[in-house]
């Protein structure tokens, strides 16, 4: 054999963690760039949502400029911020599902990659998709309906941060379900958000929901985040109380989702579920 034996220089500690995070993020960038149909999730569907809800706002406020403006505020700001949860959730969930679809899970699990590093790497690239998707929506709302999302001010930032956390919490829970129940639970990656959507009062106050559902809705951090968003639309400034409740609820959700995921991962190892993906 004519090969020279070159000992590789291996990084350790934080430097190795950073390298692994970047490697996972880059791996998912390849997936997106080399499967153009996936760009639909990030660009086309968000734009379709802007058109749908923007047109609805025009119709609802027909003949009344102030009514149209308020409806546009509620509906367009609502759908743009909804996509913060949706895109962050779907990016992380489908990122993990990609490993199961391509039977890459075993390859990854035998490396020094830690679970938290994997999740952080996928979430990191998910942020890129999120910026792209929400950017398209903000631009679409401005071009088609003259609605400037940024006119709502920097109060949007803490609200978006809370929604981002909720999106990640939901996807951690979905990953836990897939680890436990296998590919059958995949449908939840997309479906679970549609349970959250009506209950969170994205476009309306939760008082509009049936009385039976209102107590459930009020438990959701998303409900308080969107209530804070409507205050912004109504020029009432940032409602820190609502944002605080939402942030606390989001952190509780993340903690519960992490505990569930850890438990499911332990079960995955104990029951040898890896054989489903080999």
Partner 1 sequence: MAPEVVLAARGLVKDYRRARAVDGVNIVVHRGERVALLGPNGAGKTTTLLMVLGVVSPDAGDVTICGYELAKKRSRAAQCVGFAAGYLPLTERMRVREYLTLFAQLYGIADPSPQIDEGLERFRITDLGDAMGTELSSGQRTLIGIVRATLHRPRLLVLDEPTASLDPDVAMRVRTGLVDLSDEFGCALLMTSHDMSDVERVCERVVFLSHGRVVADAAPREVAARYGTGDLESVFLHLAERHEAAAAQQSDHP
Looking at 40, 103, 146, 216, which residue binds partner 1 (CB under 8 A)?
103
Q: Which of 102, 146, 151, 208 binds partner 1 (CB under 8 A)?
A: 102
Stretch that binds partner 1, among 31-39, 66-74, 137-145, 163-171 (CB under 8 A): 31-39
Check binding of 262 to partner 1 (CB under 8 A).
no
| The residue count for the chain | 278
Closest CA to 159 of 71, 45, 80: 80
CB 17 to partner 1: min, Å: 9
Handedness of CA 276, 118, 172, 75 (dihedral sign): negative
Q: Which of residues 38-97 bind partner 1 (CB under 8 A)?
A: none
DSSP 9: P
For residues 92 and 168, the answer to whether their CB atoms sit within 8 Å is yes
Q: Report the C-alpha gap between 202 and 187 in whole angstroms.
A: 22
Q: Are 207 and 214 in contact (CB under 8 A)?
A: yes
Q: How far is the CB of 276 from partner 1 (least distance, A)?
A: 12
Closest CA to 90 of 159, 157, 187, 184: 187
Query: Of 11, 187, 195, 255, which lies in the binding site for partner 1, with binding defined by CB under 8 A?
Result: 11
Shortest spacing between CB 110 and partner 1, in angstroms: 4
Chain positions contacting partner 1, by CB under 8 A = 1-12, 15-16, 19-20, 22-24, 26-27, 30-31, 34-35, 102-104, 106-114, 266, 269-272, 274, 278
């Amino acid at each position: 054999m004519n090969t020279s034996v070159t000992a590789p220089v291996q990084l350790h500690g934080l430097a190795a963690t950073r390298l692994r995070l970047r490697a996972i993020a880059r791996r998912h960038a390849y997936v997106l760039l080399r499967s153009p149909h996936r760009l639909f999730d990030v660009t086309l569907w968000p734009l379709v949502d802007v058109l749908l809800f923007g047109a609805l706002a025009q119709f609802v406020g027909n003949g009344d400029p102030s009514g149209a403006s308020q409806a546009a505020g509620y509906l367009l700001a609502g759908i743009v911020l909804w996509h913060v949860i949706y895109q962050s959730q779907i990016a992380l969930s489908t990122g993990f599902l990609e490993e199961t679809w391509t039977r890459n899970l075993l390859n990854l699990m035998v490396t020094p990659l830690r679970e938290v590093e994997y999740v952080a790497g996928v979430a990191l690239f998910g942020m890129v998709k999120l910026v792209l998707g929400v950017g398209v929506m903000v631009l679409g709302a401005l071009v088609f309906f003259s609605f400037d999302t940024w006119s709502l001010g920097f109060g949007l930032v803490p609200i978006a941060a809370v929604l981002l956390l909720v999106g990640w919490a939901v996807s951690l829970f979905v990953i836990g379900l897939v680890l436990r129940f296998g590919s059958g639970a995949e449908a939840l990656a997309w479906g679970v958000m549609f349970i959250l959507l009506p209950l969170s009062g994205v476009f309306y106050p939760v008082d509009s929901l049936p009385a039976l559902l209102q107590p459930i809705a009020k438990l959701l951090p998303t409900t308080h985040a969107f209530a804070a968003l409507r205050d912004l639309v109504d020029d009432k400034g940032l409602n820190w109380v609502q944002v605080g409740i939402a942030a606390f609820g989001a952190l509780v959700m993340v903690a519960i989702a992490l505990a569930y995921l850890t438990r499911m991962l332990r079960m995955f190892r104990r029951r040898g579920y890896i054989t489903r993906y080999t």
